[in-house]
Amino acid sequence: MSMIKILDSTGKADPELEPNISKEKLVKMLEYMILVRLLDEKGMRLQRQGRISFSIPSTGQEATQIGAVAALSPEDWIFPAYREPGMAFYRGLPLEDLVNHWFINEKDPQKGRRLPGLFGSKQFRYVNPSAPIGTQIIQAAGAGYAHKYLSENLVDIVFFGDGATSSSDFHSGLNFGAVFKTPTIFFCQNNQWAISVPLSRQTGATSLVDKAQGYGLPGVQVDGNDILAVYNVVKEAVKRAKAGDGPTFIEAVTYRAGPHTSSDDPTRYRPKEELEKWKKLDPISRFEKYLRAKGYITQEGIEEIRSSFDNKLNNLISEAEKLKPPSLKTLFSDVYSELPWHLEEQFNELNALKGRNA
Amino acid sequence: MSELTMVESVCFALDEELGRNSKLVILGEDVGPNGGVFRATQGLLEKHGPKRVLDTPLSENGIIGFAIGMSLMGLTPVAEIQFVDFIYPAFDQLISEAAKFRYRSGGMFTTPMVIRSPYGGGVRGAHYHSQSPEAYFTHTPGLKVVIPSTPYETKGLLTSAMREDDPVIFLEPKRLYRAFKEEVPKGDYTIPLGEARKVRVGGDVTLLAYGAMVHVALEAANIASTNHQIECEVIDLRTLVPLDIKTIEKSVKKTGRMISITEAPKTSGFSAELSALVAERWIEYMEGPIMRVTGYDTPFPLSLEQEYLPTAQRTLETIMKVYNF
Ligand SMILES: Cc1ncc(C[n+]2csc(CCOP(=O)(O)OP(=O)(O)O)c2C)c(N)n1
Ligand SMILES: [Mg+2]
């Protein structure tokens, strides 16, 4: 099985495969790749400064998330793992929501309940992720069944890492998806590592894409640092799903250029040379070269994109930091659709205690 | 009107609700042409079609995870786990996913669904066809837990469960599946979750039970009355979460004595929760120790199953102990 590639490292596109995407859209794709990298830098810095508790970078994996979201329609549903935040912003999720979530303040849409970086949005059809690895894979298959049942012409795309391919929900997800021919796209971000554990400890198979065959699914391996190639394979998978031909398994070969999270130090376990090798394949610089050669963007234009996001984020951060934590009530709300007596009682107890100590 | 067994009542409730709610889908192992290994879905495939009654691959985490995805997108999945003893592979999906979606998303995403499963002993099923794991679920915020005790109750409670906005674990005491028949009306009747049922009125000792143990409690209460002139009040809790604390309060304040009868192992069982609740709140009303009659802290046995399970005899001895304290 050969890997699908369109852009070479100099940013030249294979004319046979180059997708026909408008200039506006191509520039938008670059903008959101730049945003993702900027968010990583900001998030890590804020975490190091002790201003937020946690950060999950996706540096090096910008092409998978943005290439995929660009190939979907806005009505399609996304089940992210946690390295796909750009998809939500590409669709319009306000950065304010993210920054308030980082600071787990009273305006955090998730009411300050999640580790920074684990967020979802119903409005933008970006399903709220959990933390246990792999659980979303089977859920996306079930969601696909629902779309089919309701005769909605929608697809679900679900993201997960190479480590997640060892989970039981990976197996059940691909299995159920294949059995019920759901309109689901299984998108594996093979970034070579699961924290410190290399791919060779996740599988004895030569490559992850080979797993598709065992489920009776078509599998495609794509250069995950090539945004045009990602765009094409997702488009193709969407077409299959919408035609009623069922799921596709996509293995995007990429690299986690940063640490696993703000709590991780990758120098403990992986060789420098590996990072150096992958840096040459950086997804953003490749795409920039492509767009510059087309005359769609200039170096100044790129810097402008960065600084305009940067200013916006700085303002949001200084606002978000001033806000209070969510109200005490939010500790007890949303456990159930209504507040049962025992939670009301526990709230009253805590509230009274707070009152006495105020 | 017709007399039905409990398992027929399950099927009846599913059948009627499939007719009323076009988004309801049943899924599980052998629920299709076979009608379920206990026949709880008998005839539903033929009547409602293969889009709505799904035989799935043999994978419990798959069944629950798939159901969660359906629920997120607006369907009402009713999943059958063939025996609750096999639910453990699906624990992650239940505890980390179904139970937490609403909370973790700030109320944005919800996963209403019903997980039905036969549970409990008394059918010579040994370790893997007899367990009572309700405490795992009552210990998980975000899940509701319902356990019926008669055919009539089953239809009313299951119908309510299928209309809840939260995930509901619906445990069916399999030893009662065909134990007796009862009038089960046609049509739309529901029993609200969170309301217990007073099965027997009495002023001396409160017996709290659910599922098959309601009948054990009742039997013990009748013997206590006939042989010892002790009048027990028997309460069928029906829902463990949310619990009907008011009915328990009224009863224990009146009797001043409380015993819970549950078939799960004793340590950290739901009966411990009941004891703690009553002790914390109404200890000053109590005239004897708050006691538990439970299964033992062993894996579920086979040959000695009747020794393991709470019986009227064991319950009666506990009643005498509390009464004569
Ligand atoms: C079930 C489970 N086990 C362990 C963890 C801790 N953990 C978080 S991420 C991770 C590695 C995931 O690797 P992979 O699936 O390749 O995704 P990546 O982080 O590389 O994107 C581990 C072990 C977890 N979240 N869930
Ligand atoms: Mg990985």
User: Per residue in B33-88, pLDDT tens?
Assistant: 999 999 999 999 999 999 999 999 999 999 999 999 999 999 999 999 999 999 99
Give a yes or no: residue B301 inside a domain: yes
Residues of B classed as catalytic: 129
Give a yes or no: residue B140 inside a domain: yes
Q: Do B166 and A341 touch (CB under 8 A)?
A: no
Instruction: List A251's β-bridge partners, or say none.
Output: A188, A221
Ligand 1 mean position to B286 CA, how many Å? 51
pLDDT of residue A358 exceeding 80, the answer is no
Give a yes or no: residue B222 inside a domain: yes
pTM above 0.90, yes or no: yes
Together in a domain, B172 and B255: no
For residue A336, the chain B residues in CB contact (below 8 A) are 102, 142, 144, 165-166, 242
- For chain B, what is the HEC assignment? CEEECHHHHHHHHHHHHHHHCCCEEEEECCCCCCCCCCCCCCCHHHHHCCCCEEECCCCHHHHHHHHHHHHHCCCEEEEECCCHHHCHHHHHHHHHHHCCHHHHCCCCCCCCEEEEEEECCCCCCCHHHCCCCHHHHHCCCCCEEECCCCHHHHHHHHHHHCCCCCEEEEEEEHHHCCCCCEEECCCCCCCCCCCCEEEECCCCEEEEECCCHHHHHHHHHHHHHHHHCCCEEEEECCEEECCCHHHHHHHHHHHCCEEEEEEEECCCCHHHHHHHHHHHHHHHHCCCCCEEEEECCCCCCCCCHHHHCCCHHHHHHHHHHHHCC
Q: Do A146 and B73 touch (CB under 8 A)?
A: yes
Give a yes or no: residue B6 inside a domain: yes
The model's pLDDT over B148-206, given as tens digits with 9 standing for 90+, comes to: 999 999 999 999 999 999 999 999 999 999 999 999 999 999 999 999 999 999 999 99
Domain encompassing residue B315 = 197-323
Q: Do A111 and B89 touch (CB under 8 A)?
A: no
Give a yes or no: residue B191 inside a domain: no
Average per-residue pLDDT for chain B: 98
Q: Do B66 and A141 touch (CB under 8 A)?
A: yes
pLDDT confidence tier of residue B127, bands split at 50, 70 and 90: very high
Q: Do B51 and A149 touch (CB under 8 A)?
A: yes
Q: Which of A52, A57, A47, A36 shows the shortest CA–CA distance to A266?
A: A57
Together in a domain, B221 and B174: no
Q: Whose CA is nearest to atom 20 of ligand 1?
A: A194
Together in a domain, B170 and B225: no
Q: Which of B23, B72, B89 sits opposite A168 (nearest CB)?
A: B89
Could you tell me if B187 lies within 8 Å of chain A, comparing CB atoms? no
pLDDT confidence tier of residue B1, bands split at 50, 70 and 90: low
Q: For residue B186, report the phi and psi dihedrals to the nearest 5 degrees.
A: -70, 160
Together in a domain, B58 and B156: yes
Q: What stretch of H or E contains A98? A: helix A95-102
What distance in Å separates residue B283's CA from the closest CA in chain A? Answer: 18
Q: Whose CA is nearest to atom 13 of ligand 1?
A: A194
pLDDT of residue A357 exceeding 90, the answer is no
Residues of A classed as catalytic: 256, 260, 269
Residue A332 has a pLDDT of 98
| Complex confidence, ipTM | 0.97
Together in a domain, B87 and B216: no
Give a yes or no: residue B36 inside a domain: yes
* Domain-terminating residue out of B124, B152, B184: B184
pLDDT confidence tier of residue A9, bands split at 50, 70 and 90: confident
Q: What percent of chain B has pLDDT over 90?
A: 99
From the CA of B91, which ligand is nearest? 1
Distance CA A78, CA A86 (A): 12
Ligand 2 mean position to A188 CA, how many Å? 9
What total of structural domains would you count in chain B?
A: 2
Give a yes or no: residue B13 inside a domain: yes
A132: Cβ below 6 Å to ligand 1? Answer: yes
A198: Cβ below 6 Å to ligand 1? Answer: no
The model's pLDDT over A194-222, given as tens digits with 9 standing for 90+, comes to: 999 999 999 999 999 999 999 999 999 99
Query: Sign of the C-alpha dihedral, residues A28, A30, A33, A35?
Result: negative
Distance CA A132, CA A249 (A): 21
* Domain-terminating residue out of B184, B219, B251: B184
State chain B's maximal CA–CA distance in angstroms.
60
pLDDT confidence tier of residue A1, bands split at 50, 70 and 90: low
For residue B71, the chain A residues in CB contact (below 8 A) are 142
CB B100 within 8 A of CB B142: yes
Three-class secondary structure of residue A310 per DSSP: helix
pLDDT confidence tier of residue A6, bands split at 50, 70 and 90: very high
Chain A: residue nearest B91 by CA?
A: A135
Which of B73, B273, B274 should be substituted to probe chain A, the one whose Cβ sees the most A Cβ atoms within 10 Å?
B73
Together in a domain, B104 and B172: yes
Together in a domain, B48 and B159: yes
Could you tell me if B100 lies within 8 Å of chain A, comparing CB atoms? yes
Shortest-distance atom of ligand 1 to CA B92: 1
Together in a domain, B177 and B283: no
Ligand 2 mean position to A195 CA, how many Å? 7
Domain at B91, CATH number:
3.40.50.970
User: Ligand 1: which of A83, A195, A269 to mutate, most ligand atoms within 8 Å of CB?
Assistant: A195
pLDDT confidence tier of residue B2, bands split at 50, 70 and 90: confident
Could you tell me if B274 lies within 8 Å of chain A, comparing CB atoms? no
Together in a domain, B168 and B221: no
Q: Do A77 and B92 touch (CB under 8 A)?
A: no
A6: Cβ below 6 Å to ligand 1? Answer: no
Domain at B202, CATH number:
3.40.50.920
Together in a domain, B235 and B142: no
Instruction: List B239's β-bridge partners, or say none.
Output: B146
Which of A126, A127, A336 should be substituted to probe chain B, the one whose Cβ sees the most B Cβ atoms within 10 Å?
A336
For residue B281, the chain A residues in CB contact (below 8 A) are none
Give a yes or no: residue B16 inside a domain: yes
Average pLDDT (A226-231) is 98
Together in a domain, B132 and B10: yes
pLDDT of residue B226 exceeding 90, the answer is yes
Residues lining ligand 2 (ion), CB within 5 A?
A: A 161-162, 191, 194
* Domain-terminating residue out of B154, B184, B214: B184
What distance in Å separates residue A121's CA from the closest CA in chain B? Answer: 7
Q: Which of B57, B93, B164 sits opposite A179 (nearest CB)?
A: B57
The model's pLDDT over A164-197, given as tens digits with 9 standing for 90+, comes to: 999 999 999 999 999 999 999 999 999 999 999 9
Q: Do A138 and B54 touch (CB under 8 A)?
A: no
Average per-residue pLDDT for chain A: 97
Together in a domain, B180 and B203: no
Residue A283 has a pLDDT of 98
Distance CA B315, CA B257 (A): 13
A194: Cβ below 6 Å to ligand 1? Answer: yes
